[in-house]
Structure 1
Amino acid sequence: MTEKKSTTAVPGIPTPPHPHFRRQPLPECQPKAASEDLSAPERIRILTESPGYRQADQDIDYLNLDETRGVRLQIDYQKPEFLLEQHNISHTIVVFGSTRITEPATARQRVRALKEELAASPDDPELVRHLRVAERILAKSHYYEVARAFGQRVGKAGKTLGDGELVIMTGGGPGIMEAANRGAFDVQGKSIGLNITLPHEQYPNPYITPNLCFRFHYFALRKLHFLLRTRALVVFPGGYGTLDELFETLTLAQTRKIQPIPVILVGEQYWRRVFDVDFLVDEGVIDEEDRDLFWYAETADDIWNGIIQWHQSNGSDLFAD
Structure 2
Amino acid sequence: MNQTATEQVLISEVGMRDGLQSIKSIMPTEYKFKLIDALYEAGVREIEVCSFVPATLLPQMADAPEVVRYALRYPDLTVMALVPNLRGARNALQAGAHKLTLPVSASEAHSLANVRKTREQMVQEVRQIVALRNEIAPGVKIEAGISTAFGCTIQGMVSEDDVVRLASQLVAAGADETGLSDTTGYANPAQVRRLFRRVFAEIGDKCGAAHMHNTRGLGMANNLAAYDVGVRTFDASLGGLGGCPYAPGASGNVVTEDLVFMFEAMGIDTGINIDKLIGARVPLQAGVPEEAVYGMVAEAGVPLTFQQQV
In the superposition, the TM-score normalised over structure 1's length comes to 0.28
Q: TM-score, normalised by structure 2?
A: 0.28
Q: Relative to total residues, which structure has the larger strand share, 1 or 2?
A: 2
Question: Which structure shows the bigger proportion of residues in helix conformation?
Answer: 1
Question: Which of the pair has more CA radius of gyration?
Answer: 1
Greater relative contact order, per chain length (Cα 8 Å cut-off, separation 6+): 2
